[in-house]
Amino acid sequence: GNSVTQMEGPVTLSEEAFLTINCTYTATGYPSLFWYVQYPGEGLQLLLKATKADDKGSNKGFEATYRKETTSFHLEKGSVQVSDSAVYFCALDSSYKLIFGSGTRLLVRP
Amino acid sequence: NAGVTQTPKFQVLKTGQSMTLQCAQDMNHEYMSWYRQDPGMGLRLIHYSVGAGITDQGEVPNGYNVSRSTTEDFPLRLLLAAPSQTSVYFCASRHPGTGELFFGEGSRLTVL
């Protein structure tokens, strides 16, 4: 069945460091892919999405490219801020059901 | 701009008790869903609905009931609570065009 695998956290970085959070997926066809972010005490909110191969989603300095050759959708940011500290979830769209990875906690230190 | 509203935010139950988690959305979305979030396991789909009168099971439906009598409301019922149902529960509705899920703030349930 369809599934999403994310790198385990926590990821701890200093402010202005480069961020990569790995995400790979298993799916039939070419589902839409998403990154959601969860700030402490809140629900998830959409960070970015890509709907087809080679699409690049971007928002708030974050980027992810839909790579069908490597079945990956890695999240990157060139310079993280303390305010980026949160849990990040990769997800894929599977016929009305969004399948989530286990989440990666990011902690950015000043 | 309310979006998705969940109540209660916190609840403590004893094993065997029943309760209902309420969820309401004001965006006229046909699709709504319930997830549970457990440490290290991400979000797992419990039940979902593609419109009023239509519900279906997700990945972990056992121990939970749902109904969808209106577009706005999608309550989740626990009939005989068990400690394994201790979790954070999220309700979400889905934008029909973009596929984006809009989440409530969550309901933290503890079953003793």
B97 touches chain A (CB under 8 A): no
For residue A97, the chain B residues in CB contact (below 8 A) are: 33, 45, 48, 58
pLDDT of B82 above 70:
yes
Nearest-CA distance from A37 to chain B in Å? 11
Are B104 and A38 a contacting pair, CB within 8 Å?
Answer: no
Q: Which residues of A touch B42 (CB under 8 A)?
A: 4, 6, 89, 100-103
In this prediction, residue B20 has a pLDDT band, given cuts at 50, 70 and 90, of: very high
The answer to whether B39 faces chain A, any CB pair under 8 Å, is: no
Q: Is the model's pLDDT at A29 over the cut of 70? A: yes
Residue B87 confidence (pLDDT) above 70: yes
- Is residue A87 within 8 Å of residue A65, measured between CB atoms? no
Mean pLDDT of A47-73: 96
Give the CB-side neighbour count of residue B12, counting CA atoms within 13 A.
1
What does pLDDT average to over chain B? 95
**Are the CB atoms for A67 and A12 separated by under 8 Å?**
no
Cis peptide bond upstream of B8, omega within 30: yes
Q: What per-residue confidence (pLDDT) applies to B62?
A: 96
Q: pLDDT digit string (tens) for A10-25?
A: 999 999 999 999 999 9
Q: How far is CA B6 from CA A7, A41, B24, B74, in A?
A: 30, 13, 7, 10
**Amino acid B1: pLDDT:** 66
Residue % of chain B over a pLDDT of 70: 99
Q: Which residues of A touch B93 (CB under 8 A)?
A: none
Instruction: Tell me the per-residue pLDDT of A65-100, one tens digit each, with 9 for 90 and over.
Output: 999 999 999 999 999 999 999 999 999 998 778 999
